[in-house]
Structure 1
Amino acid sequence: MDSSGLLTTKAGSREILPRPAPTPILGMDPTTRRRVTCVQDSQSCIPLSYQLKDGDIILLLTPAVVPEMSPLNRDANKPPSDPFEPLGKALAKHHSWVRHVPYLPRNGITGTHVVHIRLAAAVVFVISGPPHHGQPSQANLAEIVRTLCENRPQIILTCCAVQELGPLEKSFPTVIEVPGFAPSDLEAAANVLFQETRRSRPRSPNNIQKSLVTAPRAWAVEVWDANRDVTEILDLWCRCFPEPFRLGRYQFQSILRRDGYAMHYVVREPGGSQVLGFCATYTIYADSGGERLLGSLAALLVHPSYRRRGIGTSLHDHALRQLTKTRGVCRLQLGSTFPRLFYGLPVDSPFESWFEHRGWPIKPHSAANLSGHEVCDWLLTFKDWPSTGLVPFHLAFRPCELTEFDMVLDFVDKESRRKDNMGWYDQYAKLANTMNIHDIILGLEGDTIVATALTYFKGTGSPAAEDLPWANTVTDQVGGVTCICVSDTVPNTAKKRDAVLIRLLNSCIRRLREQGMTKLFIDAVKGGDEGFQSMGFQKWARYRDVWRNV
């Protein structure tokens, strides 16, 4: 963290603001200790952890105030320090890229400040109090900074009651009130900026605070508008999920727009068009029969500022009613197989109990209960892949030929039915009459197929690459492998299943390496953690495989 401390004049003497006179707060017992309060956050930038990624700079602009105002400087034997230094340090505990730059109201916002603002991803502007003895208004300087911020979020942090500064809520979308200069108060303010909080409504002139938290209720749910809602829903997605799960607009739009297979819903702001909540659902064929369908509750998002009001429940219940009314749906999945957003609920999600309360079997209660078990996405760097030795003489591994495609479909259909892998058959069937048939890697014992895997990578038109976006978000040199089938019915293969899987993966790696790939992404693997880790794989994401039969 870069802390500039107190500014000095050219003559070398400190130039500091006079101590503001204490101002009584109407309606407040002077013995009552006020708390750090989020007065409003209409731009929804809190928590900042949803807005910032590694390397993004937080600019902390603080006024140069009398050092004695801080409890830090009550020891006359110690040199004075900047009263806002604890705030900078507390912010850095949450996000290490903090730049602390003081300002002098008399000098205004200088060119140095402008440079720092343009380099920042977010600006925290501190106001110590109302102007006294002819001082320029710090709130007026905050207005200038707001203009310079353009699209960057600006957060006003006041070290006094907001009422003393006038109607700040009309000028600034995010305002935090701090009781004073105590380090504990400033540290609490930093915590508020990085943690979800219940926000207070803008205060009325009579200083009556009312809670924004309203009783949950039923909300009107409507079908999304694919033409106008994508941008707003993508913004909502980015607010709700961390950096590894961010998608570009084209990818996001492609995943959502699946005519005949997708139906998505939104809750809008009453009387307006702002999207407050979004729910994505899909239906896909479970197998080759064309009659059984898997219904997926693929994503459920609620704007952080509007949670705990019944929006999620309204979307959830409406989506499930529509899925269960769809003819042929035999199972409901929390997550999605194909196309993939999340395979299931992320492990240790704070919303596990919310879904469990609504009837989803989140935790496995027995080995026989398959729902709730962990599945993982794995990532391998090719240089970490160990030598696999010689291929057993009775097995061969190679890309699929066009003439073998029908046999592959028959094999995949039987294996996926046997192991309850819904939707896998369709992933192979989509390759019919395309050159992507060669993306299938076969394991053969003589003329008998004993194993298959479907490889994919960017820029080939592969349907699998369109349905599975996450490999491409790592780097452009990541190829994927999905829908791995290894037979348990062929005697020689069943006894050496792990060896067959390793050789199959080795052939997949060889094919992807020939296409310029340097890493391998495998999705939704059930079990086998020790084996994959011993082969150099690292977990990329963890989910719970949650479903229930209809």
Structure 2
Amino acid sequence: MMSNTPYKNSHPYYEGPESTGQKRAWSQDTPYSREENRDLVRRQVGKLVIIPMDTPESAQYVTDMVERYHIGGVLLCRRSIRHSVEISRIVRDLQSAARKAGHTHPLFIMIEQENGMFAPFGNGHLGTQFPGALAVGAFRSSEILYDIARASAQELQSLSVNTNLAPMLNIEEQNPEGLSSRMFGDDPANVWRCTSAILDAHRSTNLVSIVKHFPAPRQGSSGILDTRNIATEPRYAPFRKAFENGVDGVLLEPTMWAASTDTTFGGKDSLPRNLIRKHLRYEGILIGSVDRMSENAAGRCVTGGQLSIRGLVNGCDMLIVCEHPHDVTDALEEIYTAVETGNITRASLEQSWERVRRVKERYLRWEEVVDPPPIHLTLPSLMRRNRELSFRSYEMATTVIKDARNLLPLTKPQRQSVLRQSGTCVLLTAVAPPRFPGQVSVDPFEYLGRAINVRGIAVSHAPYTHEGLQETHTSLLKKANIIIFVVSLDTDPEYRSQIETMRSLARQRLVLEPPLIVITACSPRDMLPEIPFLETVVSCYEYSREALESAASVIFGEVKPTGVLPLRKLLPLNSGVPIDSFQRWEVHEWEKRRDLYASADLWKKCFGWNPNWNLNSSILSDLLDRPGNAKHYVVKDPRSHGKILGLCATYTIHAGKNLVGSMALLMVDPDFRNSGIGTALHDEAFQFMRANPEIDSVQLGSIFPRFFPGLPELLPKEQKEWFKRRGWKIEDNFIFDLYQNITNWRPPQQDVFADLSRQGITFGVCNPGVFDSLIQFEDKHFSSYPGWVEKYRALKDTNDYADAVLAFGVVPDGQSAIVGAALVFSGAGSNKISKEVPWPKAIGDRVGGLACVGMGPEFRGRGVGFGLVCAAIIELQSRGLTGCFVDWSTDRQVYEELGFETHGKYHNMAWRKV
């Protein structure tokens, strides 16, 4: 019997079995009466329903549902996306119809865009073809994945899409029809690494993210669902992290919510309420999909209306009703009746709508969805811009799983050895269906054949079917100098026949002798048991053009393979594949007490080859030990206590009113490079800075404190390329550090000060009386330079006013004022800058430094800067110093005229927005 006690907001979700005798707020509800306005019921229910738009022709039906039934969201399906301009117009019309019909918030316009071959949008013609989940799970850069997700989100938003049902967080296939290529792999840590980058990208572009598919607990031996280990079970780990990070919503596996309300005691004991709301404390949107899969999960034949009622009673906030139009309206009528009779409570509807409202108010605005602002880049221009990123990401994903004979790469000398004269490559590929509806039936593997052929190799391309190798194939194989066999298991209903065909070919090859390269243009999951019997296996994970051409680039040595198989747990023990190539490194925060001396050892091993870069543990301590504005990360050798294999140092610093981040240092033990350590550190550091809402931009290198202002020019080319592949742009100009011995230094122009004096320019050191004027001068001209003004302000804290050498001149109003300034410092003084620029102390105890040299704009080009540097050097000489170090100069000509020589040369790096 229903209680008439009013609903209490202090009990937002069910907290235990009803048998405890506690009163449940959600059940204390008064049902709607028949006399009440049914339009109110229609509006409340409609807000929680999403319907698909299968084709552009169904737009009128969807519009009617939005106007009459107040549907809260629309799911765009693959067939409905045929022309981007048309879709954008249809979506705006739907939003306009919703506003006129009295909707309080805009519609969710959803799409299930996971990228990859079978995504509804992005085939190279309509949207950029980006790699799918398993492919991006194979490459080690979260930063590139962030760029991919952001680029993909921007293209979706050009269609007025505002919600993405992605990414998929599962590490196990939930049903036999599931495609493992849609998952990031079987390592929960790697799944969350990929997911975190995608969610960050979606938030940065204001795109709603709905992760999927939250799995139901397994049944125990007694047939009862086992929820005891939910906090530690690996398959729930990515979802737990997503909940902790406030993901907008989650799509539930049907078995989570489709159970009969009799077995869940009217929803009291349902998994969404007990497991997700109570145990995991998640308050985002829970979504169920009413379709064939949920009908199967229901255990018996039920109508769409009955399933919908189960979903709302059992804790779903929204339902995607994938039914025939007539069945959708019938289902809605059944829901209305359930609400009116109290089977669906008013309180639960209000709670669900509140969760939906929070998300819509965060992301959606009427003025933006009805009359979107003009975009700077249209979809075609976005696709042109993103094409390079697409190919680069496919290249990074391509994985050499096994190369037992060191056949790869097939460089030109290697080809001559393998192919001999006028050699032939036999390319055997599975018959694959078109990837998009209505697409012209073209063999997608033709791109691979052409990619091999343009490298000067004759190609005989022959598709094979489930019937295996025929006489035609055998005749080609007899003439082959090399065989490339392509498996695409995801595309063949009888995929086991592809493996049998490959086995047959491997046996024949023992007689034929030509090398056999197997390419898995799909998930290699079902191929892994065969790995021990093969010699060369390459995976490109998909058979898109970009994936196949990237596989060819790897095979022929034009691209270095960096992909890591993301299905490590399924790899046979006798596979012959080096386990080190699958290492996922654990990243720890740097701690001075534990890591300082090991960091000094690593520095020596990484940079000891250059005598100019000699830093000991004391200097490193000054640079790294900076609580408050520094955070550093290390990877340790799991086989050796305390040994550090990689270190990444990061700082934050104010630039005017903004906060900027610096990836100041990233070094990896030379013996452990190319194993993913640098990528793990890079991703962890960048993710930390991206998660800080106050940080607007990030630089590679640092300002204060400083190791290097940019990438040292002396670094090997492959190390610079490594940073380029992670999205850093090297600019054309250079930054210089300079040094000279000043023991016997004299100004090259004996009358330099006399000439300047005739212009009214004089020099001196700062004192308390002019300090405020100095700060006003620096604020006026250099406040946008990160850390610059702060270094002058800090002189007051240590009473080092005289460390500022000043130039005075007559300004337009006839008064004498500060027109230039420079900072001098040495390790012997208390000036904080001496602990932030390490190289003077590294050169010698009696070496000083010169920094932050700047003139007012009206006094530039008049020799004032030349005189100011001379005055600063004389000041350092007066302190008994024998050397002068100048840091961060973009114009070394003035300093070379004064006798300085280059101490360090660095590539200037473009700042990156986060």
Which TM-score bucket, shorter chain as reference? 0.5 to 0.7
**Alpha-carbon spacing, 1:422–1:311, altered in 2? closer, same or farther (3 Å):** same
1:275-328, Cα deviation, whole Å (9 max, x unpaired): 2111111111113x4xx1121101111111111011100100110010121232
**Alpha-carbon spacing, 1:228–1:507, altered in 2? closer, same or farther (3 Å):** same
CA distance in 2, matches of 1:433, 1:217: 48
2:796 counterpart SS class: coil
CA distance in 1, matches of 2:787, 2:697: 12
**Alpha-carbon spacing, 1:216–1:450, altered in 2? closer, same or farther (3 Å):** farther
Are 2:689 and 1:308 aligned? Answer: no
Contact 1:266 1:276 (8 Å CA) reproduced: yes
**Alpha-carbon spacing, 1:531–1:216, altered in 2? closer, same or farther (3 Å):** farther
- Displacement of 1:433 in angstroms is 3.8
CA distance in 1, matches of 2:804, 2:905: 26
Structure 1 residues 381-390 or 337-346, which shifts more? 381-390
Between Structure 1 and Structure 2, the one with more strand by share is: 1
The one-letter amino acid paired with 2:847 is V
% identical aligned pairs: 32
Matched residue, 2:846: 477
Are 2:507 and 1:507 aligned? Answer: no
CA distance in 2, matches of 1:396, 1:465: 27
Between Structure 1 and Structure 2, the one with more helix by share is: 2
**Alpha-carbon spacing, 1:215–1:228, altered in 2? closer, same or farther (3 Å):** same
Are 2:634 and 1:266 aligned? Answer: yes
Query: RMSD of the alignment, in Å?
Result: 2.1
Matched residue, 1:254: 622
**Alpha-carbon spacing, 1:425–1:213, altered in 2? closer, same or farther (3 Å):** farther
Contact 2:648 2:664 (8 Å CA) reproduced: yes
1:215 counterpart SS class: helix
1:386 pairs with one of 729, 748, 763: 748
Structure 1 portions without partners, runs of 5+: 1-209, 365-372
Matched residue, 1:191: none
Matched residue, 2:691: 325
Contact 1:388 1:502 (8 Å CA) reproduced: no
1:413-441, Cα deviation, whole Å (9 max, x unpaired): 22224xx5211111111112432111101
CA distance in 1, matches of 2:797, 2:589: 35
CA distance in 2, matches of 1:435, 1:283: 25
Are 2:706 and 1:340 aligned? Answer: yes
- Displacement of 1:463 in angstroms is 0.6
Matched residue, 2:8: none
- Displacement of 1:262 in angstroms is 0.7
- Displacement of 1:510 in angstroms is 1.3
Matched residue, 1:427: 791
- Displacement of 1:513 in angstroms is 0.7
Question: Which structure's CA Rg is the greater one?
Answer: 2
1:259 counterpart SS class: coil
CA distance in 2, matches of 1:537, 1:216: 49
**Alpha-carbon spacing, 1:358–1:398, altered in 2? closer, same or farther (3 Å):** same
Are 2:774 and 1:408 aligned? Answer: yes
Matched residue, 1:237: 603
Residues 25-44 of structure 1: pairs in structure 2 closer than 5 A: none
CA distance in 1, matches of 2:749, 2:700: 38
CA distance in 1, matches of 2:884, 2:830: 18
Matched residue, 2:509: none
Matched residue, 1:538: 901
1:23-51, Cα deviation, whole Å (9 max, x unpaired): xxxxxxxxxxxxxxxxxxxxxxxxxxxxx
Contact 1:213 1:309 (8 Å CA) reproduced: no
Matched residue, 1:436: 800
- Displacement of 1:252 in angstroms is 1.0
Are 2:721 and 1:353 aligned? Answer: yes
CA distance in 1, matches of 2:715, 2:593: 31
- Displacement of 1:443 in angstroms is 0.7
CA distance in 2, matches of 1:244, 1:500: 31
Contact 2:768 2:801 (8 Å CA) reproduced: yes
Matched residue, 1:458: 827
Structure 2 portions without partners, runs of 5+: 1-575, 811-815
The one-letter amino acid paired with 1:318 is E
- Displacement of 1:532 in angstroms is 2.3
Contact 1:216 1:308 (8 Å CA) reproduced: no
CA distance in 1, matches of 2:737, 2:577: 42
**Alpha-carbon spacing, 1:213–1:407, altered in 2? closer, same or farther (3 Å):** farther
CA distance in 2, matches of 1:521, 1:305: 33
CA distance in 1, matches of 2:840, 2:578: 40
Matched residue, 1:220: 586
CA distance in 1, matches of 2:736, 2:861: 25
- Displacement of 1:388 in angstroms is 4.7
1:319 counterpart SS class: helix
1:522 pairs with one of 886, 898, 902: 886
The one-letter amino acid paired with 1:315 is L
**Alpha-carbon spacing, 1:437–1:234, altered in 2? closer, same or farther (3 Å):** same
Matched residue, 2:304: none
CA distance in 1, matches of 2:769, 2:860: 26
Contact 2:731 2:908 (8 Å CA) reproduced: no
CA distance in 1, matches of 2:688, 2:764: 44
CA distance in 1, matches of 2:800, 2:772: 14
The one-letter amino acid paired with 1:422 is P
Matched residue, 2:736: 376
Contact 2:587 2:684 (8 Å CA) reproduced: yes
Matched residue, 1:295: 661
Structure with greater contact order relative to length (CA < 8 Å, sep ≥ 6): 1
Contact 2:798 2:831 (8 Å CA) reproduced: no
CA distance in 1, matches of 2:578, 2:598: 23
- Displacement of 1:270 in angstroms is 3.2
CA distance in 2, matches of 1:303, 1:213: 19
**Alpha-carbon spacing, 1:240–1:535, altered in 2? closer, same or farther (3 Å):** same
